[in-house]
Structure 1
Amino acid sequence: MMCISAQYFHLNRILLLIIGLWPYQQSKLDRLRFIFFLGILTTAILFQFTTFFSSKCTANFIVKVLSNACFFNIYDTLYLFAINIKTVKDLLTQLQYVYDEIKDECENAIVEKYNSNAKRYTKALTAVSICGTSALIIAQLWSNIIDVILPINISQPHRLPIMTEYFVDQEKYYILIFLHLNAAFCIGVAGMVSVGTMLIAYLEHTCGLFQISSYRIKRAMRLIILQNINPKNDILLEEIKYAVHIHRQAMKLSKATVSKFEAMLFCLITTGIISLSLNLFQIFRIASIEDNINEIIIPCIFVFNSILYMFCANYVGQNVTDYNNHVFDTVYNVQWYIAPLHIQKLILFLLQRGTKAFDNLVIIGGLFVGSLEGFATLVSASISYFAFLYSTRQ
């Protein structure tokens, strides 16, 4: 029997193992690694908020601290995935049961196609995150590199990319603080990519199940039209039954994925909107101050990451909806009316399901629907909040 976690989620397994969140065979070392990484990430957030105890809290200062802390909090929110680690295992087990029923070569080819799509998403997002993280670290060290290549007699004070308060001499312990902040950033990026690509890969496989359902419906009607099989033949009935069964399984898995992670996704949406709004405000504020133009790099990276993650999450939600709708388009377009009455009743069952909106399977918190329209809504809301903040500054 094929093990889907080894064959189809191999890359996701490696990424989740790195941060100690792979649901199978969790050792004490995995749990210790996860706690250690979470501790680094959490303390990095806390030491940003401690700046309120040692500095004057002006409006610009509060926005600057919150813009960084909220983005780091997105990383921390992703570790809510750990609470649902058993759910991930259950979802993979359910998908395993569905794939064990697939025997047709064409259906296996469909599964392989969507597995390849999932791997491409995983590889692409991993590559973007590695390049982005490397660029951020190089940008922070660039002034030191220039000093080595073109040394000057004037000593430059070290400047951290993010405002923090460790209650120590930050110039003396600059290297340790620098390592702590960048370790937290790398851990957060690793968590975001690992968890995000795992959910994307799983939903991509459910899209494959919708495609298999469409394939079964087309094949069943082709058996009558092209091969002149008796409409009363049990083969036709089994084909339609299997198509309905696969479709129900795909809907069940999609709904379970969203509902189990609803709290995490809702927190991510809320924190993401706040972070995007504050960092847009920071970009425009810094751009108006020529002396601090170098500080614009961090908020730009935060804005890019927030928009990219929002887009990927909503694009996958749109994909699930589109593939479900494709099943109903297939049912409408085939010559279902030439099938016997008992087959038509099964097909009508699918058509009735098609009259109901599928969006309720990819809705989060009863308020937000995962779709490209939803992505536009999130960005629009963030820009509206940014515009309000910027207008109060004038």
Structure 2
Amino acid sequence: MCSSNEHLLLYYHVRSRRRKKMTCLETQYFNLNRILLLAIGVWPYKQSNFTRFQFIFLFIILTTSLIFQCSPFISHKCTLDFVIKVLSSASFFALFVIKYIMFYVNIKAVKDLLEQLQYIYNELKDKNEFAIIFAYGCSAKRCTAVLTICGICSLCALIVFELWSEIFHVILPMNISRSHGLPFIMEYFVDQEIYFYWILLHINVSFCVGITAMVGIGTTLIAYFQHICGMFRISSYRIKRAMQINTLKNYKLKNEVLILEGLISAVDIHRQSIKLSKLLVFKIEKMLFSLILVGVISLSLNLFRIFQIISYGDDIKEILLPFIFVTICILYMFVANYIAQDLTDHNNDLFAIVYDVQWYEVSLHIQKLILFLLQQGTKKFAVSIGGLFVGSLECFATLVKTSVSYFTVIYSTQ
């Protein structure tokens, strides 16, 4: 019998080990995501009064930028070209606002899901399973780093575009008065010449917040789904390992028990992975639906803006911003659908492995269990948004095709 002190020491030992593991996913695989989300006040594990104030302050900056982009409809005559020019940038900023709201209103659910993912990680059994998670975690970190660099490049391109005339004037000064121009059509209801640099600061800060939100939130979801893909791979590994138990040929009953335990653990982690992926999509389904609709509209309008600039012989430098918006929209659509396709493929790979196992070498009882797994494989698993959009590369092609179709419709009205 252990004494009460020994029980207490054992309790704190287990608790310290669990605490150490609890920080593992956050510090090892979500470190850059944490930095990005802390910068905009939406990291799930660090919610305080200051971060709430931070969110409100940055959200006001972001939404007022969208409002001032739509306000020219009040003070200007609305022709079709004017409406398209205003909405091409406003619709892109609407994506920022939707994405920012989507994560914040579901921040508790995201925290709970990350904790459940951590719990599954704590239950991993051997070094091979940890190696699988490590590989997928590193893949998610690389994706986060690449998309962060793309976001920084987009922000730098916007700043250079805004200050190009100022830089050119410093290099080649001319003794003529010149007016300042904003990158978008905006109406602040003040003298824009006097407050030009304040307005420019507001635009840059809002774009910076929006890009950080898009990259930080997007890459966090990517990392989350990448870890679920890793869980699918672990499930496949457990099935193969269970069916390769043949070292105890003289103990068939013990072999059967070990195989059953391996198959049950594989089914359990597979079931939990599907549950986590569906639960996250269910929580943010409405916002994702809005993102898809606004994304298609933004892509169509900015494609048309590029066509207008090229066709009408406008200043070629004006093509930079619509090109950035189109590139970001297409890249975001592709990455989102690729991750969804990857989840489906990993699920299918699991049942392909079940088909390939040497089922004929095991007992009839286990053969029936394998048959049950094969029947489960007939149920198609995919990331679905409202039953209308099924995440896949085919869906990506459909969204781009739809955007081009809308662009064609707008062109035909000219």
When normalised by structure 1's length, the TM-score is: 0.96
Partner residue of 1:348 out of 348, 351, 371? 371
Cα distance in 2 for residues equivalent to 1:322 and 1:268? 24
1:125 and 2:147 matched: yes
**Are 1:389 and 2:410 matched, yes or no?**
yes
Alignment of 1:208 onto 2:230: yes
Separation (CA, whole Å) in 2 of partners of 1:321 and 1:218: 20
Greater mean deviation of Cα atoms: 160-169 or 3-12: 3-12
Within the alignment, does 1:49 sit opposite 2:80 as a pair?
Answer: no
2:329 — aligned with what?
A: 306
User: Residues 119-178 of structure 1, C-alpha deviation per residue, up to 9 Å, x if partnerless?
Assistant: 111111011111121122112211211110111122221110000001111111110111
**Residues 88-131 of structure 1 deviation map (CA, whole Å, 9 limit, x = unaligned):** 11101111221111121110111111111111111110111111
* 269-278 or 4-13, which deviates more: 4-13
Q: Deviations over 1:227-255 (max 9, x none)?
A: 64744321111111111111111111111
Amino acid at match of 1:248: R
Within 5 Å, give how 1:104-253 maps onto structure 2. 104-224=126-246, 228=249, 230-233=251-254, 234-253=257-276
- Provide the rounded CA distance (Å) in 2 between the counterparts of 1:260 and 1:231: 47
Q: Structure 1: how far apart are the matches of 2:311 and 2:318?
A: 12
Gaps of 5+ in 2: 1-17
Tell me what 1:379 maps to.
400
CA–CA separation in structure 2 for the residues paired with 1:366 and 1:47: 35
Q: For residues 344 and 175 of structure 1, do their structure 2 counterparts lie closer, same or farther at Cα, with a shift above 3 Å needed?
A: same
The aligned residue for residue 86 of structure 1 is 108
**AA paired with 2:62?**
L
How far apart, CA to CA, are the structure 2 residues paired with 1:321 and 1:364? 14
The Cα of 1:41 is off from its aligned counterpart by 0.5
- Which deviates the most, 104-113 or 346-355? 346-355
2:71 is the counterpart of 1:39? no
What is the distance in 2 between the residues matched to 1:347 and 1:101? Answer: 24
Q: Could you say which residue in structure 1 is the equivalent of 2:123? A: 101
Aligned residue number for residue 330 of structure 1: 353
1:182-202 superposed Cα distances (whole Å, 9 cap, x missing partner): 111111000000110010000
Structure 2: how far apart are the matches of 1:252 and 1:230?
A: 36
User: Matched residues in 1 for 2:373 and 2:54: separation?
Assistant: 47
Contact preservation (8 Å) 2:161, 2:183: no
Counterpart contact for 1:214–1:243, Cα < 8 Å: yes
Which ranges in structure 1 are unaligned for 5 or more consecutive residues? none
Contact preservation (8 Å) 2:232, 2:346: yes
**1:256 deviation in Å?**
1.2
Normalized against structure 2, the TM-score is what?
0.92
Most deviating of 244-253 and 340-349 = 340-349
1:171 and 1:289 mapped to 2: Cα distance?
Answer: 27
Larger Rg: 2
CA RMSD between the two structures: 1.3
Give the distance between the partners of 1:347 and 1:201, measured in 2 at CA.
Answer: 31
Measure the CA separation in 2 of the matches of 1:229 and 1:223.
12
1:329 and 1:229, CA in 2 relative to 1: closer, same or farther beyond 3 A? farther
Q: Which moved more, 1:133-142 or 1:193-202?
A: 133-142
- Answer yes or no: is the 8 Å Cα contact 1:240–1:343 preserved in 2: no
**Alpha-carbon distance in 2 for matches of 1:202, 1:44:** 31
Q: Deviations over 1:278-324 (max 9, x none)?
A: 11111101111223322211111110110111111011001100100
Q: CA deviation at 1:336?
A: 1.8
- 1:45 and 1:308 mapped to 2: Cα distance? 22
Determine what percentage of the aligned residue pairs are the same residue.
57
The counterpart of 1:315, out of the listed 334, 338, 350, is 338
1:27 maps to which residue? 48
Amino acid at match of 1:309: Y
Q: Would you say 1:256 and 2:279 are equivalent positions?
A: yes
Q: Does 1:77 pair with 2:98?
A: yes
**In the alignment, is the contact (CA less than 8 A) between 1:203 and 1:316 conserved in 2?**
yes
Q: Secondary structure at the match of 2:183?
A: coil
Matched residue, 1:369: 390
Q: How many residues align?
A: 390
Counterpart Cα distance in 1 of 2:148 and 2:126:
33
**Residue aligning to 1:7:** 28
